[in-house]
Amino acid sequence: MSRILILDDNTINQIAAGEVVERPASIIKELVENSIDALCTSITIEIEDGGLRYIRVTDNGIGMSHGDALKSLERHATSKIVSSNDLNNIVTLGFRGEALASIAAVTKMEIITREKDSISGSQIINHGGDLVSNKEIGCPEGTTIIVRDLFFNVPARLKFVKSFRAETAHISRLVEKLILGNPKISFRYINNGRIVYYSPGDGQLKNSIFSVYGRDIIDHILPVHPIGDSRSISLSGFLGKPAIARKNRIGQSFFVNHRFIKSGLIEASIESAYKTYLTANLFPWVILNINIAPNKIDVNIHPAKTEIRFKDEKAVSEFIRQQIGSVLAGTPYIPALGKDSFKPHIGKNDKDQCDDMEEGYQVEAFSSISSEESITDDVTGQSADPKKEVGKAESPSKIFLEEEPTKAYIASPIEDPENGINRAKETEFELRDSYQKENATSHYKVIGRIFTTYIIVERDSECFLIDQHAAHERILFEKYKNMFSNQAIITQRLLPPIIVEVTHGEQLILNESMNLFQSLGFEIDSFGGRTYAIRGTPVVLGVSNPKAFFHGLLDDVDSFTQGSNYELMIEDIIRMSCKKAVKAGDILTNAEVYALLDALMEDRIPLTCPHGRPIMISLTKTELEKMFKRIQ
Amino acid sequence: MKFTCFQKKLSDSIIIAQKAITPRTTLPILEGILMTTYKGVLKLVGTDLNLGIECFLEANIIEEGAVVVPSRIFGDIIRKMPNSMIEVEVDSNYRISIKTENSHFTIQGVKPDEYPELKYVEERDPIEIQQNLLKEMIQNTIFAVATDETRPILTGALFEVKEDNINIVCLDGYRLALKRGMVANNKNISVIIPGKTLSEVSRIIDNSDDKISITVDEKHVLFDMGYIRIVSRLLVGEFLNYTQIIPQEHKTRIRADIGTLYDAIERASLLAREGKNNLIKLTLKEDRLIINSNSEVGAAHEEVPITLEGNEMTIAFNSRYFMDILKAVGDEEVCIDFTTNVSPCVFRPEDGDNFTYLLLPVRTSV
Ligand SMILES: Nc1ncnc2c1ncn2[C@@H]1O[C@H](COP(=O)(O)OP(=O)(O)OP(=O)(O)O)[C@@H](O)[C@H]1O
Ligand SMILES: [Mg+2]
């Protein structure tokens, strides 16, 4: 008896659907990409209940003839490539000819379409791959595809779909990317009957950004003027200033030949260009369009088409890193850190303090000229090249890496001959360098310090290298965390309130976690649409930075997919305040250094600094012996 | 070019011109000071393109000319010279020679051609104000200017002239500072001046009642003291309508002696600082104002005699902001008006209306 059967088409399509249609957002991606391939200038996306019940995508593109519309639902039906040779030169977003067939297999689909020169259009209804109805109707030029009841015939798949809220958030994210990637197309996005996004489609990326992120962000981004050779590779887009860096990559959108893609390679290249401007736990906000000759990439990697392979990865990565690096270097950066460390206060007889103001003011004043109006008009009345003109902020690396406070505590005497006070302490440390600690739990010996940075400690048959800067940060962090948890939550009221605009995805999250925000000390209320008024902000360790806290926490809620975690949010908000809370007086005492060593040796504190760098690495005797080939 | 002049005069002028210079600018020429002979006097100019300062000083001009001098080193050399006559000579390669009786320095200068020209603001119809009054008005408001870029417009101060009143208003979201001055001018002006400009102006002007004249055009402001001219870009945008946010009514009014109140808060904040939160709690009760603060280190309790009208209440503040305001108020007695413990409180003078300060409270969970 033969047991191998050839699967019927519906089953094949359902299996294929598994790869293409992961969730409602994937359907929208396919439909919109088809609309874009159909050369439309406007697209309406409408969803209800997270797209699980209802999705509609309407375009004003070239439409399909009756015959093509029927064919489009068949597997491997495409107008976009003819032979396998074309795969090396893909200029459309679609090319596999299986998206519609796959979607139709797991939904109830309705296609309404009319070609430009046709007198009448067609309406085709298909349920789970079976043709239900097929007729001629009158309709506008272009194509509308309505998709209802996703997975109605594969209930098992429904289990993997998340809540309406989560699916809506996914779709909103996707729509944001589609808007950002297609400034020439006017998008309208409607959720449960309410318009969420509208973009004008005037070809200006700035206006697309405005539609998604609101007015505020425009002051914090720098244009990447098209650079490179359009025939091989070129870049354009916008780079976020460090001040709007986020804690995850949500603010990053990459498009290769207008295709929205995910790419570790691009992420890494961009982040390496930003490296000196951002601390380790922050990710830049970036919108980057990469135009590259189609024969230099391979798109046919994954059915979802969100991955591509660059044929020369090294060259692309190097190009991006260099170009972005030079845009960043040519422009002034507004320090995201340390801004608040300066608070002017002049009393009547407080002349001396005036001078302290200088530094802080300069930084502030320059950052304020980065808004566009100001650039073109300076006191000299010249309207010079903005690149040249605004480049007078402080050198970025200096501002961002405020390391001063961390270096003081056991700096070597030679390095810091001027500082008499430190010296006294150092001697004490030196004296105790060979100090041995003996108690019930630990027994270790401080061997010394190398490169003025790493403390070497020996314990049993293991030796440890401890990064004193990282350790210092960790100690302060623990100390502040402790302090914070013993204090009441403090809210500083604000007047006027700070108005923030969030994306739709963020809005959904925010509404859901409003209580959490309140319990951390925020007073926030809705200000209509996607804007919110922050009327009160938490004060953590004397630091309040309403906008940074707000966005930081929003990012947190977002990343904690398994529900929001109050503890983690608190840690984060403390982390954000930590650097600023460090005052000159916060130099570590030797007692603290030893307390740290004790804690490290007894595994009582995490082995990373608050930014995730390791504090300590270990080397065992066995490992050493292996290196010296004493043992195998 | 060649001239001689007194060390002190030259050094003072350099220090003033340097106030407009940003160290580490990427346009190297802006690290310099433009030095020109000008109708028998010497003119020094420093600018960062947002702010420009021109200084004129008497000198004995022997040969006309111009040069851009490296600001820091030239300034340092002149400053360390003894207070006697200095001779400065610049050759055709812009090498600058600085001579006194016993010293001789040569340093390299730069061709002046590329130095940007300061914006010319035509002095039509200027406002005149005594320097000491302007200085005081700036110093008592500038602390409330916003230092972060969240709302760029708030990094500037509103400078308002309404007939014979001059107002300076600063606002950073946590507090508002408003100072009023009287000058016979009869004009109507409302512009936003960058905080940095105003604070430099307040440092440059004298404590005398000599007049300074202020002219604004659409995008710039010019402060003219005769021998010093400061020109700055204005901030473009709409300042908040501040009169709307100053509460007109109150439920509680207290009067207190500023010195006593300041000292008590300062002491209590020693502990608040320790806890890194600067939190002080004020309880208004009968004829006392009770200040409490605490941290891991301990607890503070201070009492200050007051007169109280209206409801008793408890309200908390950031002690630093509170003290900033008390310092600026300066009078012997102050009235503070409260409404609820989450709404702003208002500091007013005993009589008159020459200032208004507004401070937002903090709310705590316990
Ligand atoms: N909105 C539309 N307007 C005009 N033609 C369309 C539209 N949507 C689909 N089509 C036609 O239907 C065909 C099949 O679409 P489908 O998305 O299944 O495949 P594809 O886009 O060619 O490839 P892929 O599977 O990679 O998306 C397309 O090639 C196109 O000719
Ligand atoms: Mg397609």
Measuring from each residue's beta carbon to the nearest atom of ligand 1, which residues come in under 6 Å?
A 30, 34-35, 38, 59, 61-64, 72, 77-80, 94-101, 143
In the predicted model, is pLDDT for residue B273 greater than 80?
no
Report CB contact under 8 Å: B30, A392: yes
In the predicted model, is pLDDT for residue B4 greater than 90?
yes
β-partners of residue B231 are B52, B222
The residues spanned by each domain of chain B are: 2-114, 129-220+232-244, 246-359
User: In angstroms, rounded to a whole number, what is the distance separating the alpha carbons of residues A114 and A121?
Assistant: 4
The whole-angstrom distance between B233's CA and the closest CA on chain A is 6
A26, A65, A70, A72: residue to mutate for ligand 1 pocket, most atoms within 8 A of CB: A72
The whole-angstrom distance between A377's CA and the closest CA on chain B is 8
CA distances from B143 to A212, A276, A490, B238 (A): 36, 32, 23, 20
**Could you tell me what percent of chain A has a pLDDT over 70?**
73
**Is the complex ipTM higher than 0.90?**
no
The whole-angstrom distance between B185's CA and the closest CA on chain A is 26
Report CB contact under 8 Å: A494, B139: no
Domain B2-114 and domain B246-359 have a common topology? yes
Which residue owns the Cα nearest ligand 1 atom 9? A34
| Least confident residue range of A164-173, A216-225, A506-515, A566-575 | A566-575
Contacts of residue B82, defined as CB under 8 A and 6 or more positions apart, other chains included, come to: B7, B100
DSSP B206-259: -SS--EEEEEE-SSEEEEE-SSEEEEEEPBPS----HHHHS-S--SEEEEEEHH
What is the per-residue pLDDT across A394-442, written as a single tens digit (0 to 9) for each? 333 222 222 333 222 222 222 333 333 333 333 233 334 334 444 444 5
What is the per-residue pLDDT across A172-197, written as a single tens digit (0 to 9) for each? 999 999 999 999 999 999 999 999 99
Domain B2-114 adopts which CATH fold? DNA Polymerase III; Chain A, domain 2 (3.10.150)
Please report the number of interchain residue pairs, chain A to chain B, with beta-carbon separation below 8 angstroms.
196
- Confidence band (pLDDT; 50, 70, 90) for B24? low
| Token reading at B229 | 């001219």
Nearest CA in chain B to A341: B147
Residue B51: list chain A partners with CB under 8 A. 365, 379
- Confidence band (pLDDT; 50, 70, 90) for A588? low
More confident residue, B271 or B356: B356
Give chain A's mean pLDDT: 75
What CATH superfamily is the domain B246-359? Answer: DNA Polymerase III, subunit A, domain 2 (3.10.150.10)
Q: Which of B82, B108, B81 is nearest to B97 (CA)?
A: B108
Report CB contact under 8 Å: A495, B358: yes
Q: What is the CATH number of domain B129-220+232-244?
A: 3.10.150.10
Residue A242: list chain B partners with CB under 8 A. none
pLDDT of residue A299: 85
pLDDT of residue B332: 84
Nearest CA in chain A to B222: A379
In the predicted model, is pLDDT for residue A500 greater than 80?
yes
Strands B2-6 and B355-359: unpaired
In the predicted model, is pLDDT for residue A386 greater than 60?
no
Residue B136: list chain A partners with CB under 8 A. 348
- Confidence band (pLDDT; 50, 70, 90) for B196? very high
- Surface of A (461-500) touching B: CB under 8 A: 480, 483, 486-496, 498
User: In angstroms, rounded to a whole number, what is the distance separating the alpha carbons of residues B148 and A131?
Assistant: 62
User: In angstroms, rounded to a whole number, what is the distance separating the alpha carbons of residues A110 and A123?
Assistant: 7
In the predicted model, is pLDDT for residue B102 greater than 50?
yes
Give chain B's mean pLDDT: 92
- Surface of A (158-177) touching B: CB under 8 A: none
User: In angstroms, rounded to a whole number, what is the distance separating the alpha carbons of residues B16 and B55?
Assistant: 7
What is the per-residue pLDDT across A434-486, written as a single tens digit (0 to 9) for each? 344 444 445 778 887 777 778 888 888 888 888 877 777 777 777 777 777 77
Q: Which of B235, B150, B110, B22 is nearest to A548 (CA)?
A: B150
For the ranges A371-380, A543-552, A596-605, the maximum mean pLDDT occurs at: A543-552
User: In angstroms, rounded to a whole number, what is the distance separating the alpha carbons of residues A166 and A51?
Assistant: 11
